[in-house]
């Protein structure tokens, strides 16, 4: 951003800027690659980008979006890239690279590239001194507010919904399906759904609200960053709580901020790519636990064959349990339980054991009591894998599997997968009568 600010055009004190400065054909003038016959789509993804002093992550972000969007989903989205730097040489280089790499998406109108006229920007001189920020940072965040406002205005007529991303994130396969499902699932009263807990990443709005959001962002452009402004906007629009969707869909990868000299190694703690990998049989069962859980990560998710995981809301204590109760007793051959994750390597079971229970004494909606236990093994490095259980269990069927913490733990616990494999060789053969 430093290069951009050094070349920043300074409007005259009383010059018209912002939304009032937009002419009748401003949208056509803003578009670097002319588009025609655009139809309204489900979602527009807006990504502003500028010249960075060192590392650049922009094309990694774009590649992640395209790689994680299916061909069937592409007609539902627009991606709008806003070149928010006034360095003409840089803009030409980025434009040429986009043309070379993504000509098909550009011709179809799916990928749109825009820039803003300089007179859209308000004055960046004599800005209010807020948050004890130095002058360069105040200019950076104030210009950034105007960048967002311009992008909101451009995207407003393109689709039903709008999502804000940054140019240094990546996503996961299925992100579009997840967004669609949460739009359908959430009540009609929402203003902003958040698919990342960080800053202004992954924020989903109704496109019809974008002009209001642009106006309030410009109104307070010098007072505070958009990361704060959108929260006040939500309240003014009568959404009084943040609605962060777990697990989140976008992870921040940037370390070098767009503000020169700023290091920003932020990570979204609710983002984790955890695919089930052991493909157990997992006969019908219910999972109980004595540990306080995160509402969006109940213990059942670790057992279900679909993607999902169990995340506690506190560190396990000695004798805390996770109990799998089968609907009908099972002949068990193998059990694999994996805890922790790449993003949260410390959230694993450090000390624990696994027992098989032959009898179920009591079962309610929140409690299961099992007995007649057979010890199966202990956790090593957050994981347990026990095999060939027919030799240990013999002809007995198992009604419950119980994980027990054998010591207090300092960190929370993620159980990413519980895989149970049933025996295929225990059918009793009837003798053939002579």
145-164 pLDDT per residue, tens: 999 999 999 999 999 999 99
* 281 and 421 Cβ atoms separated by less than 8 Å: yes
- Mean pLDDT taken over the chain: 88
pLDDT of residue 219: 93
DSSP E strands in 168-316: the ranges are 169-170, 192-194, 203-206, 243-244, 251-252, 285-289, 310-311
Element (H, E) at 159: strand 159-164
- Asked if pLDDT for residue 1 goes beyond 50, the answer is no
Q: How far apart are CA 311 and CA 295, in angstroms?
A: 9
pLDDT beyond 70 at 117: yes
Q: Which residues are CB-neighbours of 227 under 8 A, at least 6 positions away?
A: 199, 200
CB 140 within 8 A of CB 261: no
Spatial separation of the C-alpha atoms in residues 187 and 209, rounded to whole Å: 17
Question: Does the domain made of 19-252 have the CATH classification 3.90.550?
Answer: yes
Beta bridge pairs of residue 240: none
Question: How many other β-carbons are positioned within 10 Å of the β-carbon of residue 362?
Answer: 9
Of residues 176 and 261, the one with the higher pLDDT is 176
What's the CATH number of domain 285-422, 1.20.1630.10, 2.60.120.260, 3.40.30.10, 3.50.50.60? 2.60.120.260
Reported as a pLDDT band with limits 50, 70 and 90, residue 426 is low
Please compute the mean of the pLDDT values over residues 151-178 and round it to a whole number: 93
Predicted confidence at residue 275, as pLDDT, reads 77
Closest listed residue to residue 297, CA positions, set 320, 321, 323, 274: 274
User: What residues does each domain of the chain span?
Assistant: 19-252, 285-422
Q: What is the mean pLDDT of residues 397-425?
A: 93
Give the chain's end-to-end CA distance (angstroms, integer). Answer: 91
Q: Decide which of 233 and 19 is more confident.
A: 233
pLDDT digits (tens, 9 = 90+) for 362-388: 889 888 999 999 999 999 999 999 999
Q: How far apart are CA 109 and CA 111, in angstroms?
A: 5
Given a cut of 50, whether residue 73 has pLDDT beyond it is yes
DSSP-derived pairing of the beta strands 398-405 and 321-330:
antiparallel
Which segments within 265-314 are labelled E, that is strand? 285-289, 310-311
Sign for the CA dihedral angle at 254, 85, 91, 88 comes to negative
Asked whether the predicted pLDDT for residue 274 surpasses 80, the reply is no
- How far apart, in whole angstroms, are the C-alpha atoms of residue 218 and residue 224? 10
C-alpha 94/C-alpha 97 separation (Å) is 5
């Amino acid at each position: 951003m430093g290069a951009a600010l050094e070349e920043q055009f300074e409007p005259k004190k009383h010059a018209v800027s912002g939304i009032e400065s937009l002419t009748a054909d401003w949208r056509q003038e803003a578009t670097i690659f002319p588009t025609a016959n655009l139809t309204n789509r489900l979602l527009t993804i807006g990504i502003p980008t500028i010249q960075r002093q060192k590392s650049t992550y922009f094309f990694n972000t774009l590649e992640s979006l395209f790689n994680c969007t299916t061909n069937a989903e592409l007609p539902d989205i627009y991606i709008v890239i806003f070149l928010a730097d006034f360095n003409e040489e840089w803009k030409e280089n980025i434009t040429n690279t986009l043309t070379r790499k993504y000509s098909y998406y550009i011709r179809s109108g799916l990928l749109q590239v825009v820039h803003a006229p300089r007179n859209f920007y308000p004055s960046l001189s004599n800005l209010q001194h807020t948050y004890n920020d130095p002058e360069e940072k105040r200019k950076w965040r104030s210009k950034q507010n105007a960048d967002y406002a311009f992008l909101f205005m451009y995207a407003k007529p393109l689709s039903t919904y709008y999502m804000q991303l940054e140019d240094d994130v990546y996503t996961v396969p299925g992100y579009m399906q997840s967004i669609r499902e949460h739009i359908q699932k959430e009540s009609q009263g929402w203003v902003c759904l958040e698919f990342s807990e960080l800053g202004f990443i992954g924020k989903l709005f109704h496109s019809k609200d974008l002009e209001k959001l642009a106006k309030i962002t410009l109104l307070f452009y010098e007072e505070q960053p958009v990361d704060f402004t959108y929260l006040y906007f939500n309240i003014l629009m009568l959404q009084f709580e943040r609605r962060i969707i777990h697990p989140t869909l976008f992870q921040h990868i940037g370390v070098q901020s767009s503000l020169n000299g700023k290091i920003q190694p932020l990570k979204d703690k609710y983002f984790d790519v955890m695919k089930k990998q052991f493909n157990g049989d997992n006969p019908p069962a219910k999972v109980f636990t004595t540990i306080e859980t995160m509402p969006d990560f109940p213990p059942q998710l670790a057992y279900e064959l679909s993607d999902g995981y169990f995340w506690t809301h506190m560190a396990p204590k000695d004798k805390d349990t996770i109990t799998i109760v089968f609907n009908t007793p099972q002949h068990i051959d193998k059990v694999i339980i994996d805890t922790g994750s790449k993003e949260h390597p410390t959230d694993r079971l450090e000390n624990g054991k696994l027992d098989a229970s032959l009898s179920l004494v009591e079962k309610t909606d929140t409690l299961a009591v099992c007995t007649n236990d057979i010890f199966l093994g202990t956790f090593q490095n957050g994981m347990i894998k026990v095999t060939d259980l027919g030799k240990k269990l013999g002809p007995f069927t198992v009604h419950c599997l119980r994980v027990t913490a054998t010591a207090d733990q300092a960190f929370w616990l993620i159980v990413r997968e519980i895989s149970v494999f049933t025996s295929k060789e225990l059918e009793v053969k009837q003798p053939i009568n002579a």
